[in-house]
Amino acid sequence: MDDDILLLINNISVVYSDVIQILKGVSLSVRRHQIVSLLGSNGAGKTTTLRAVSGLLKPENGKVTEGTIEFDGRPIQNAPPEAITRMGIIQVLEGRAPFKYLTVEENLRAGTATRWGQPFKKDLELVYHYFPPLKARKDRQAGYCSGGELQMLAIGRALMARPKMLLLDEPSLGLAPLLVKEIFEIVRRINEEQGTTIVLVEQNANMALQLAHYGYVMENGKIVMEGPAVDLRENPDIKEFYLGVAASGALKSYKEVKAYKRRKRWL
């Protein structure tokens, strides 16, 4: 494996309950210190891909039935999630559920579970550096936090584990546009300043492609397109079906986009 590649997914298939196939021959790679975005509509297989990497298929009765997943040169397909976490892969789940009766700081300290007993003060300072609102609310119960604060808390808790790779699942979900912009900017800084490799699953294709270095597009459990994010932003199919922009440059309505889906050139 190329030493510069941190994650290599090679031709994997994922099946739930021994009958429902979700992923069909998915291959992708993630280079060290990059942000890679995984785009696609609901049900395309994006979250399943993340769960295959983080080991979270098993609780939902799913497994990788074919192919391999390598992290830092070591096979991890179907490994227990706690073993994968200890290797440095941390997933921030969609939904942002905190331990609501614990304080914000107690929630953050829970992120150190994979390295229990080691000093964590510098990690807390780092999280508060990126997310000042969390410091202001560190003694408040997490259940009283706003949606934006909960997303900051979820990412902050992941940072406490000192991840080599951060898997972000729909971080913009349900948040106001200005807050989304702020959180994405912080994610960019974490990548640039800490060198953390990030895989981003996101339906907001415009924001995701502005943030990422490289992107993959999924449809029906398969990778159908890939390339540098700057190229995908200019691709006419991506513009038409994910950014809602017609060839003329005019914004398309949802109904028009839906009607055009039958003409996707990559299917």
d(CA 24, CA 31): 23
How many structural domains are present in the chain? 2
**CA pair distance 2, 185, nearest whole angstrom:** 29
pTM over 0.85: yes
Task: Clarify whether residues 14 and 62 are in a common domain.
Answer: yes
Which residues lie below 8 Å from residue 255, measured CB to CB, with a gap of 6+?
none
Domain assignment present for 83: yes
229-253 burial, b at 16+ Cβ within 10 Å, e below that, comes to: beebbebebbbbbbbbbeeeeeebe
Condensed to tens digits (0 to 9), the pLDDT of residues 36-93 reads 999 988 889 999 999 999 999 988 899 999 999 999 999 999 999 999 999 999 999 8
Range of the domain at 16: 1-88+194-228
Question: Are 28 and 51 within one domain?
Answer: yes
CA 242 to CA 15: how far, in whole Å? Answer: 27
Q: Which residues pair with 225 in a beta bridge?
A: 217
18 φ/ψ sector (left φ>0, alpha ψ -120 to 50, else beta):
left
Tens of pLDDT, residues 229-256: 999 999 888 888 777 655 445 555 444 5
Any domain includes 207: yes
Residues 205 and 252 in one domain: no
Length of the chain: 267
Q: Is 161 in contact with 111 (CB distance < 8 Å)?
A: yes
